[in-house]
Amino acid sequence: MANMDTTALEPQLPSSYDVTVFEEETRWVKVSGAIRRNVLLFAGSLLILAIVLFAVAGSLIIDEKRTEVGFAHAERETADGSIKDQVAPRLKPSSEFWFGTDQFARDIFAYVAYGTLGTLWMGLIAGIIGIGIGTLLGFIGGYFGGWLDAVIVVLSDALITIPGLMLLITISAYLDQLTVEQLGILIGVISWMGTTRVVRAQVLTLKNRAYVEVSKFNGQGDMEIVVSELIPNLAPFIAAAFVGAVAGAILLSIGLSALGLGPQNEPSLGLMAFWFIRFGAVPQGMWWWFGPPIVVIAIFIVGLFMITAGLDQIANPRLRTSV
């Protein structure tokens, strides 16, 4: 931030010279300074936290039964046994059903909460696997070089051109029913190339730095150098790549599921998109059906983008400008 107010970072001594007050104030100034120095990272994290809280709290307070077709929300005692009160479909949002009900009388609030949870879980799995493979190959290629490096580069260059969703659609056409976890693994396996490129390029520039040479002369092994010298320096890049991978995986999974080719038995935002596209939420004007998942997806992806941009600023100080 070029126009940052630097005077805020140099606190004036309080008049009473009370040491504890002084410490309190510097700590606060430090924290607020850190936040202000990285508004994007902070705001993005808040957005993500909000979505995670919504999903976790929502799934805790609402019964998962409500995401199923034909759930009964009350049982009535009558003379001839109990009668299940069926919920009406296509209800507008009310105090009982916060986001209304869909075509099949499912509680949309419950579905969005559980669906968000499922989608987040899937994105996390895909991100971890994609980053794992990508980082590993990037390190191997960048650090050791040789023919292995050539193979990795050529393979990642070729694979990165194949449209991810097309590949995913094709693979899923040959697979039977996927679970959310399997889809996460699958997406992770086909989307490591970006990370490999970034990590490899960074390792190439880092491995000839003086401090790496020094560690070599000190007799440290390759593994030790990678773990103690390279990984800490690459952390912001890997973190940014991880966040990007999660965002990408979530978008891919929603795309796949919206076509009806993803996991069908567990609630997810993508499956929800499939339902509301297939059963005409738009022509029926049921905005409370397609609105909430779109808003959740938008907030989540905006948050991830902001975190990536914030991490980029840490990794690349040149990007630190106002705005």
Partner 1 sequence: MTVDYVLRRLGMFVLIIFVAGTLNFAIPRLRPTNPVEERMNQLLQQAGGVHIANVKEMIASYEERFGLNNPLWRQYLNYWIALAKLDFGQSIAYFPADVTREVMRSMPWTLGLVGVTTVMAAVIGSFFGAWLGWTRTPIAVSFVVPLLLIVTAVPFYLLGLLMLWVFTVFWPILPGGGAHDPLLAPAFDLTTFIDIIQHAILPGAAIILSSVGFWGLGMRGMMVTTMGDDFIKLAEFKGLKERRIFLRYAVRNALLPQVTGLAINIGFVVSGSVLVEVLFAYPGIGNLLYTAITSNDYFLIQGVLMYVIFAVGLMLFIVDLIYPLIDPRIRYRSA
Contact residues for partner 1, defined by CB under 8 A: 154-155, 157-167, 169-174, 251, 254-255, 258-261, 273, 277, 282-283, 285, 287, 290, 294, 297-298, 301-302, 305-306, 318-319, 321-323
Q: State the minimum distance, in angstroms, from the CB of residue 238 to partner 1.
A: 19
Nearer to partner 1 by Cβ, of 113 and 251: the residue is 251
Report how far residue 43's alpha carbon sits from residue 46's, in angstroms, rounded to the nearest whole number: 5
In terms of CB distance, is 88 or 166 closer to partner 1?
A: 166
* Minimum distance from residue 275 beta carbon to partner 1 (Å): 12
DSSP letters along 63-105, please? -GGGGSTT-EEEEEEETTEEEEEEPPSSPPP-SSSTT-B-TT-
Minimum CB separation from partner 1 for residue 318, in Å? 5
List, as one string, the DSSP characters of 179-193.
Answer: -HHHHHHHHHHH--H
CB of 75 to partner 1, least distance (A): 37
Q: Are 320 and 3 in contact (CB under 8 A)?
A: no
In eight-state DSSP terms, residue 282 is T
Distances (CA, A) of 75 to 78, 82, 86, 103, 234: 9, 6, 9, 22, 58
* Closer to partner 1 by Cβ: residue 180 or 301: 301
Shortest Å, Cβ 46 to partner 1:
14
- For 72, other C-beta atoms within 10 Å of its C-beta total 14
Rounded Cα distance, 49 and 252, in Å:
22
Rounded to a whole number of angstroms, the minimum distance from the CB of residue 120 to partner 1 is 16
State which residue, 24 or 157, has the beta carbon closest to partner 1.
Answer: 157
Compare residues 198 and 306 and give the one whose CB is closer to partner 1.
Answer: 306
Closer to partner 1 by CB, 212 or 261: give it.
Answer: 261
User: Partners of 81 in the beta sheet?
Assistant: 78
Closest to partner 1 by CB, 97 vs 289, is 289
Termini Cα distance of the chain: 8
What is the bridge-based pairing of β-strands 72-78 and 81-86? antiparallel
Instruction: Write down the least CB distance from residue 245 to partner 1, Å.
Output: 15
